[in-house]
Amino acid sequence: MKGKKGQLDPRRPARPLPGADREPRPGPATALRRLALDDLALFQRAMNSPGLRAFRGGGEPLGDDVAGLALQGVIDRHGRDQLWYAIVAKASGQAIGCIALVAIDPAAGAAEQVAFVDEAAAGQGVARDALALVLAHAFDVLGLYRVVGVHLAHNERFRPGLERLGYVEAGRLRRYADVDGQRVDLVMMDVTRETFRRPAPPPRKG
């Protein structure tokens, strides 16, 4: 990523990413759709969550106005160097989180991944399912080779799901963030086209 980690580079690439106009294929329980201005409340919760606040370099929580400007920015830049999606539970049709590929660098074949799921949907495998969809999109459609994800070390509940998809720890930024008065590491994990473990397709009915 160019510039400080987690900050959006104001320079816009000249051409859209090949394949960026195609939406990820839906999964058995979740689907991904492009973020829209109606998703402001969801986007604001995501950006103010501890994990994404650390990713964007800390700072104060985003208020309505700033979050609205940030959302408009990611919508305008969709398909340039980032792709943001709402995670939709197919059973309810409700958006329960968001997931993104950012700092997409086609020349290097790499991108970074961030994700957020509302607390009420946490622990149900939703984030892992959505991540599998966005990884398949990154490797099969965008032609990327590597995707990097980060999480704070005190919140290891994400790690097993990442490892089941083929992520391995690639490094740490020690004592990166302050969480309730304690300095915690930022853990970096990556997955490649070869190591990606695709979830088994659901059994056919009938």
CATH number of the domain to which 59 belongs: 3.40.630.30
What is the DSSP secondary structure assignment for residue 62, as one 8-state letter?
P
Given a contact cutoff of 8 angstroms between Cβ atoms, the answer to whether 128 and 165 are in contact is: yes
Q: Which residue segment(s) compose the domain that 136 sits in? A: 30-143
| pLDDT of amino acid 4 | 45
Per the structure, how many domains does the chain have? 1
In a domain, 175, yes or no: no
Per-residue pLDDT of the chain (206 residues; tens, 9 = 90+): 444 444 445 444 547 788 888 889 988 889 999 999 999 999 999 988 877 776 666 677 888 899 999 999 999 988 889 999 999 988 888 999 999 999 999 999 999 998 888 877 666 677 788 999 999 999 999 999 999 988 878 777 778 888 999 999 999 989 887 777 888 888 899 999 999 998 876 656 65
- Give, for 176, the enclosing helix (H) or strand (E): strand 168-179
In a domain, 70, yes or no: yes
In a domain, 48, yes or no: yes
Given a contact cutoff of 8 angstroms between Cβ atoms, the answer to whether 110 and 146 are in contact is: yes
Region of 87 please: left (phi>0), alpha (psi -120 to 50) or beta. beta
In a domain, 155, yes or no: no
CA 3 from chain centre, in angstroms, equals 19
**CA nearest neighbour of 155 among 114, 186, 192:** 186
In a domain, 36, yes or no: yes
3-state secondary structure of 105: strand
Taking every pair of Cα atoms in the chain, the longest distance, rounded to a whole number of angstroms, is 55
**CA nearest neighbour of 97 among 130, 69, 54:** 130
| pLDDT of amino acid 27 | 87
In a domain, 193, yes or no: no
| pLDDT of amino acid 2 | 41
Between CA 139 and CA 53 the distance in angstroms is 27
